[in-house]
Amino acid sequence: MNDFVYYTPTKVIFGKDKENEVGSELKKAGATKVLVHYGTGSVIRSGLLDKVRTSLNEAGIPFAELGGVVPNPRLSLVYQGIELGRREKIDFILAVGGGSVLDSAKAIGYGIPYSGDVWDFYDRKKQAEAIVPVGDILTLAATGSEMSNSSVITKDEGGIKRGYSNNLGRPVFSILDPQLTTTLPPFQTSCGCTDIIMHTLERYFTAKGNMDITDEMARGVVKTVMKHAPILLADPENYQSRAEVMWAGSLSHNGLTGCGNGGDDFATHRLEHELSGMYDVSHGAGLAALWGSWARYVMDDCLWRFRKFAVEIMDIPEEGSDRQIALKGIEAMEDFFRSINMPVSMSQLGVHPSDEEIQILARKCSDAVGGHIGAAKVLYPEDFVKIYQMAK
């Protein structure tokens, strides 16, 4: 049991048609000029953007719009948003879309009041001291950005993907209507479910300690997603399952599933960010492709957690050595990923890095994490290389 700080200031407004209340929420938040930020078209096709415009007009709140956020959101659009935001005197940013839109909105929010280059924050050179506040209407249950303090942006030149975490980046409010996620392609639903599981496991696998209550919450999140992901692939409009997964996504990355565990691992995430930065793959699929290799590489340094995971989360019988049980748990997780059509290797992901490219991935990862990372096992660049090799 370790000391912890749990801070989740985001107001969550959860339920059917809650997006229609966005105008009044913005008013309550004191917004006088809003930047509506969105992606490459799903919110236009679904009619959500029109609903947002109507709600803002009804509330009498003027707004500007900036669409075009792509998955693995780009710094170049963030710069455009900062310019637009300053020109239009924006005092609130409304993200309407998936995690990429939310992350791009947070980056614009940091950039508007900052006199330097917003990339300074992502490049670990500076800490943000102010943000133009962000609220959101989420359309994809996955990243947990709707309650997290993180934003992940990719610099266009060189595909350098970097995360920046600061409590200023936690949204003021998040509107979560599970109905909005029914239009997702099955692949994105699976990527999202994988990401949610992984945010929970990144906190679960630590050699630094645990709290039973936190482990039980983690078990609840992972088991809930494992139950409802297959239902959604068969029945995409199932409201109950959409709602279960959506709330699991928020809980998985708002800090709750790490309280008292003494520190997160997040090595799989950081290894994956290099993959999606360099090859532009979907984050959730990239995680599935790497996780089993990471797990086998580190398990002996954190065996009791892997055994507990196998028995309590993956329902593996307590037969054989601790190591055998732990390995079966890892295999069962990979079987689940396969069952929802996620890759469990880089080749299945469609990525075939050469040995030289693996060295580049490892070097970039090392730059991003400051040389080492991991709470289950501390990993260094030579370890990154071995895990990428295993995941080929």
Least CB distance to ligand NZQ at residue 136 (A): 11
Structure tokens at 160: 């350098």
Among 150, 189, 210, 261, binds ligand NZQ (CB under 6 A): 150
Least CB distance to Zn ion at residue 384 (A): 18
Least CB distance to ligand NZQ at residue 113 (A): 20
The reply on whether position 99 binds ligand NZQ by CB under 6 A is yes
Among 10, 104, 151, 254, binds ligand NZQ (CB under 6 A): 151
Q: Which is nearer to ligand NZQ, 17 or 355 (CB)?
A: 17
The reply on whether position 98 binds ligand NZQ by CB under 6 A is yes
The reply on whether position 184 binds ligand NZQ by CB under 6 A is yes
Least CB distance to ligand NZQ at residue 116 (A): 22
Q: Which is nearer to ligand NZQ, 98 or 111 (CB)?
A: 98
The reply on whether position 166 binds ligand NZQ by CB under 6 A is no
Q: Which is nearer to Zn ion, 19 or 195 (CB)?
A: 195
188 binds, among ligand NZQ, Zn ion, none (CB under 5 to 8 A by kind): ligand NZQ
- Residue 273's identity, in one-letter code, is H
Size of the site for ligand NZQ (CB under 6 A): 37
343 binds, among Zn ion, ligand NZQ, none (CB under 5 to 8 A by kind): none
CA triple 170-12-26, angle to 5 deg: 75
Among 140, 245, 349, 379, binds ligand NZQ (CB under 6 A): 140
Q: Which is nearer to ligand NZQ, 47 or 60 (CB)?
A: 47
Among 23, 25, 26, 39, binds ligand NZQ (CB under 6 A): 39
Q: Which is nearer to ligand NZQ, 61 or 96 (CB)?
A: 96
Stretch binding ligand NZQ (CB under 6 A), from 4-12, 138-146, 298-306, 366-374: 138-146
Interface residues with Zn ion (CB under 5 A)? 195
Cα pseudo-dihedral 324, 311, 4, 148, rounded to 10: 100
374 binds, among ligand NZQ, Zn ion, none (CB under 5 to 8 A by kind): none
**What are φ and ψ of residue 238, in 5° steps?**
-65, 105
329 binds, among Zn ion, ligand NZQ, none (CB under 5 to 8 A by kind): none
Contact of 143 with 195, CB cutoff 8 Å: yes
Distance between CA 110 and CA 133 in Å, rounded? 9
Among 18, 162, 283, 377, binds ligand NZQ (CB under 6 A): 283
Distance between CA 389 and CA 380 in Å, rounded? 14
Least CB distance to ligand NZQ at residue 276 (A): 6
Q: Which is nearer to Zn ion, 25 or 195 (CB)?
A: 195
**What are φ and ψ of residue 47, in 5° steps?**
85, 0
Among 8, 40, 238, 389, binds ligand NZQ (CB under 6 A): 40
Site residues for ligand NZQ per CB under 6 A: 39-43, 71-72, 97-101, 103, 139-140, 142-145, 148, 150-152, 180-181, 183-184, 188, 191-192, 195, 253, 269, 273, 276, 283-284
